């Protein structure tokens, strides 16, 4: 089962394994564990998860600020104590899952070969290590938008996804994340898995799904690939889809549990609270597979019996979260975040992190477009009423603690909201290329052109056009392009033209906006014109 042939051509996303030898005895000597990121203290974990965000540039144009509001805040990751807990559990699960899968052991290689031969012959699956106890897994439940998927992806990203152990002639895929199929079909699960593997490796296993005869062969292939590529942990999102009454999903659940028990693959199950109900009511083996228990992922959870008012603990987290978020306010007239605005923000978002973030983004965009440049209670309520209609029913159900209505919701409403919010900057402020032009470069180029006898107005127009179309071209080359094509004015007329520095500010700004009094046209194909 030589797999290195797949990578005869260099693939930049696959890294050569580097080994950390400073490990506890039970991990030492296992290259799969040694290739993982070193064990981290709480302080080191904080530094690894925290991401520095660019400070708001309040001098930028409205168009530029509108687009940066979305891009900057999307990258922000506010850390909660629950993130540290989850990071430690996932790290422990991955390392423990690799303990009995040491590629240096002969029995492992023999079993791999046996699994491969059984697959080719269409025989029954073979246990990866029948003598080892099953790996531990964890169940994470929370309502859409609570941040569980984002947290898991951020934590998984602490490790490189794919590394190559050249001396051992193997590839290690540290993690894979897939969605549980809505139809609860095993074939769909296999297809999702193989597509995730293809995305990580650059292979084409998903293309084989349609050509294979039956589900059993696909399941065996999936098990083989998990073992062959030394997959460290599997994250299955939207796990509440298994709770479908239209399909018998017990077979799918049994298969997933078998991955945990026979191949030593840790699995993170993620879904809505319905996923927890499903585990309680289904297979006893499934319940036992959740060795690390379950986490109710509501970092800003509500005390439903008290309405939407947060507890003291939740309120402290909410203050930390909103203060961190408010540091990325791109409004020129915004005052400090007061308690009234903070309270209304919580009431409207019901403490759901994703909703709170998007409400902050949308409120800033509307504040800029209105010219007020300030978020007020009235504006945030207006934004919620008119821009957040896709999630009104979901949030109302959360406010009422109506679990029957909540069970009807999946991530579809959140996806609709995502699409709407992230398209707002382009709709409200359709950014123009000239809005991103380097003004300093434009003025320097205009000055050079004027000094070489070019009419001041045409020099300004040409400078904006060239700096917009060729932002990475040197000033010298741009000057040569313009001078070789633009007509020069007579010396007598040149003396009467105003200096570039003395041009009225409105003229310069109009030029930068593209509102030229006369269109400038030149042909780069003319002799002497160079790029």
CA angle 295, 296, 302 (to 5 degrees): 155
Q: Does one domain contain both 353 and 249?
A: no
State phi, psi for 496 to the nearest 5 degrees. Answer: -85, -15
Q: Is 222 helix (H, G, I), strand (E, B) or coil?
A: helix
pLDDT at 175: 96
More confident residue, 451 or 516: 451
Q: Does one domain contain both 119 and 203?
A: yes
With CA atoms as reference, report the closest residue to 193 among 206, 208, 207, 175: 206
pLDDT at 213: 59
Average the pLDDT over 246-264 and give the result: 71
Q: Does one domain contain both 156 and 290?
A: yes
- Residue 460: its H or E element: helix 456-469
At residue 235 the predicted structure's pLDDT band, cuts being 50, 70 and 90, is very high
pLDDT per residue as tens digits for the range 499-516: 444 444 454 444 444 333
Number of domain units in the chain:
3
Give me the CATH number covering residue 194. Answer: 3.40.50.300
Q: Does one domain contain both 501 and 359?
A: no
Mean of the per-residue pLDDT values of the chain = 77
Show which of 373, 401, 428 is a domain's final residue: 428
pLDDT per residue as tens digits for the range 68-112: 888 777 777 888 888 998 999 999 999 999 998 898 875 555 555
- Residue whose entry in the numeric block shows the structure tokens 């791109």: 330
Q: Give the Cα separation of 97 and 107 in Å (integer).
A: 16
Q: Is residue 50 part of a domain?
A: no
- Residue whose entry in the numeric block shows the structure tokens 């029913």: 393
More confident residue, 10 or 177: 177
Q: Does one domain contain both 87 and 147?
A: yes
0.95 surpassed by pTM: no
pLDDT per residue as tens digits for the range 11-23: 667 899 999 988 9
Confidence check: pLDDT of 324 > 70 = yes
Residue 412, token pair as written in the block: 């579809």
Which neighbouring-strand residues pair with 173?
162
Q: Is residue 505 part of a domain?
A: yes
Cα radius of gyration (the chain): 29
| Cα dihedral value 104, 108, 114, 119, nearest 10 | -100
Q: Does one domain contain both 275 and 137?
A: yes
Q: Contact, 67 vs 429, CB < 8 A?
A: yes
Residue 99, token pair as written in the block: 């303990």
SS3 letters for 304-369?
Answer: HHHCCCCCHHHHHHHHHHHHHHHCCCCCCCCCCCCHHHHHHHHHHHCCCHHHHHHHHHHHHHHHHH
Q: Contact, 169 vs 228, CB < 8 A?
A: no
Percent of the chain at pLDDT exceeding 70: 73
Q: Give the Cα separation of 389 and 238 in Å (integer).
A: 23
pLDDT per residue as tens digits for the range 200-225: 998 988 887 665 557 778 888 888 89
Kindly report which listed range (64-68, 278-282, 522-526) carries the lowest average pLDDT score: 522-526
* Measured distance between the N- and C-terminal CA atoms of the chain, rounded to whole angstroms: 53
Q: Does one domain contain both 354 and 503?
A: no
Helices (H), 59-203: 62-75, 81-99, 106-121, 148-156, 186-201
With CA atoms as reference, report the closest residue to 355 among 385, 395, 325, 319: 395
Instruction: Give the CA distances from residue 42 to residues 87, 157, 178, 304, 389, in Å, rounded to whole numbers and listed in that order.
Output: 10, 17, 29, 32, 40
Residue 166, token pair as written in the block: 């050249």
- Residue whose entry in the numeric block shows the structure tokens 């990751």: 77
Q: Give the Cα separation of 301 and 237 in Å (integer).
A: 20
Q: Does one domain contain both 212 and 359?
A: no
Q: Is residue 242 part of a domain?
A: yes
Q: Is residue 73 part of a domain?
A: no
Strand order in the sheet with 15-16: 15-16, 162-165, 170-173
pLDDT at 156: 93
Kindly report which listed range (38-47, 180-189, 377-386, 513-522) carries the lowest average pLDDT score: 513-522
Neighbour tally for 480: CB within 10 Å: 16
Show which of 428, 450, 477 is a domain's final residue: 428
Q: Is residue 67 part of a domain?
A: no
Average the pLDDT over 442-457 and give the result: 85
Kindly report which listed range (291-305, 343-357, 401-415, 425-439) carries the lowest average pLDDT score: 425-439
pLDDT at 439: 75
Q: Does one domain contain both 424 and 440?
A: no
Q: Is residue 519 part of a domain?
A: no
Q: Contact, 286 vs 339, CB < 8 A?
A: no
pLDDT per residue as tens digits for the range 101-151: 898 875 555 555 665 565 555 544 444 343 345 467 888 988 888 888 889
Confidence check: pLDDT of 329 > 80 = yes
Neighbour tally for 148: CB within 10 Å: 26
The domain in which residue 367 lies consists of: 318-428
At residue 8 the predicted structure's pLDDT band, cuts being 50, 70 and 90, is low
Angle, to 10 degrees, between the axis of helix 81-99 and the axis of helix 148-156? 50
Q: Does one domain contain both 249 and 219?
A: yes
Q: Does one domain contain both 448 and 424?
A: no
Q: Is residue 523 part of a domain?
A: no
Q: Is residue 520 part of a domain?
A: no
Show which of 241, 265, 296 is a domain's final residue: 296
More confident residue, 516 or 286: 286
Percent of the chain at pLDDT exceeding 90: 24
Q: Is 211 helix (H, G, I), strand (E, B) or coil?
A: helix
Q: Does one domain contain both 26 and 174?
A: yes
pLDDT per residue as tens digits for the range 188-201: 888 899 999 999 99
Confidence check: pLDDT of 497 > 80 = no
């Amino acid at each position: 089962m030589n797999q290195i042939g797949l990578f005869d051509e260099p693939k930049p996303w696959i890294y050569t394994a580097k080994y950390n030898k400073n490990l506890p005895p039970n991990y030492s000597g296992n290259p799969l564990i040694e290739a993982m990121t070193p064990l981290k203290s709480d302080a080191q974990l904080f530094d690894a998860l925290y991401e520095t965000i660019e400070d708001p540039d309040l001098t930028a144009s409205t168009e530029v600020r509108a687009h940066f509001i979305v891009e900057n805040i999307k990258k922000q990751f506010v850390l909660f104590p629950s993130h540290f807990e989850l990071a430690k559990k996932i790290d422990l699960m991955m390392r423990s899952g690799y303990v009995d899968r040491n590629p240096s052991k002969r029995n492992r290689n023999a079993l791999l070969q046996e699994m491969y031969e059984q697959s080719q012959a269409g025989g029954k699956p073979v246990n990866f290590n029948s003598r080892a106890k099953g790996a531990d897994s964890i169940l994470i439940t929370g309502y859409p938008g609570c941040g569980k998927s984002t947290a898991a992806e951020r934590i998984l990203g602490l490790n490189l996804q794919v590394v190559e152990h050249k001396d051992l002639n193997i590839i290690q895929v540290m993690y894979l994340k897939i969605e549980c199929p809505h139809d609860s079909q095993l074939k769909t699960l296999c297809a999702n898995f193989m597509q995730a593997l293809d995305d990580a490796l650059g292979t084409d296993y998903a293309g084989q799904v349609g050509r294979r005869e039956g589900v059993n062969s696909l399941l065996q292939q999936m098990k083989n690939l998990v073992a062959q590529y030394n997959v460290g942990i599997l994250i299955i999102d939207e796990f509440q889809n298994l709770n479908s009454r239209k399909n018998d999903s017990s077979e799918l659940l049994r298969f997933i549990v078998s991955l945990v028990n026979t191949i030593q693959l840790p699995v993170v199950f993620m879904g809505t609270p319905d996923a927890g109900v499903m585990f309680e009511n289904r297979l006893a083996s499934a319940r036992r597979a959740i060795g690390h228990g379950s986490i109710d992922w509501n970092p800003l959870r509500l005390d439903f019996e008290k309405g939407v008012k947060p507890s003291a603990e939740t309120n402290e987290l909410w203050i930390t979260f909103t203060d961190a978020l408010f540091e990325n306010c791109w409004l020129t007239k915004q005052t400090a975040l007061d308690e009234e605005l903070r309270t209304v923000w919580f009431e409207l978002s019901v403490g759901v992190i994703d909703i709170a973030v998007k409400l902050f983004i949308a409120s800033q965009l509307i504040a800029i477009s209105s010219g007020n440049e300030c978020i007020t209670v009235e504006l945030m309520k207006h934004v919620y009423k008119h821009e957040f209609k896709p999630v009104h029913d979901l949030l109302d159900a959360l406010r009422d603690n109506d679990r029957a209505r909540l069970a009807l919701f999946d991530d579809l409403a959140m996806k609709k909201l995502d699409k709407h919010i992230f398209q707002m900057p382009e709709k409200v402020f359709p950014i123009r290329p000239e809005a991103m032009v380097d003004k300093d470069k434009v003025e320097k180029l205009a000055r050079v052109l004027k000094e070489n006898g070019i009419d001041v107005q045409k020099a300004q127009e040409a400078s904006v056009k060239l700096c917009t179309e060729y932002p990475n071209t040197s000033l010298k080359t741009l000057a040569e392009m313009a001078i070789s094509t633009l007509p020069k004015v007579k010396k007598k007329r040149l003396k009467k033209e105003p200096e570039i520095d003395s041009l009225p500010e409105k003229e310069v700004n109009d030029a930068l906006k593209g509102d030229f009094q006369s269109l400038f046209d030149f042909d780069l194909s003319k002799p002497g014109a160079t790029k």
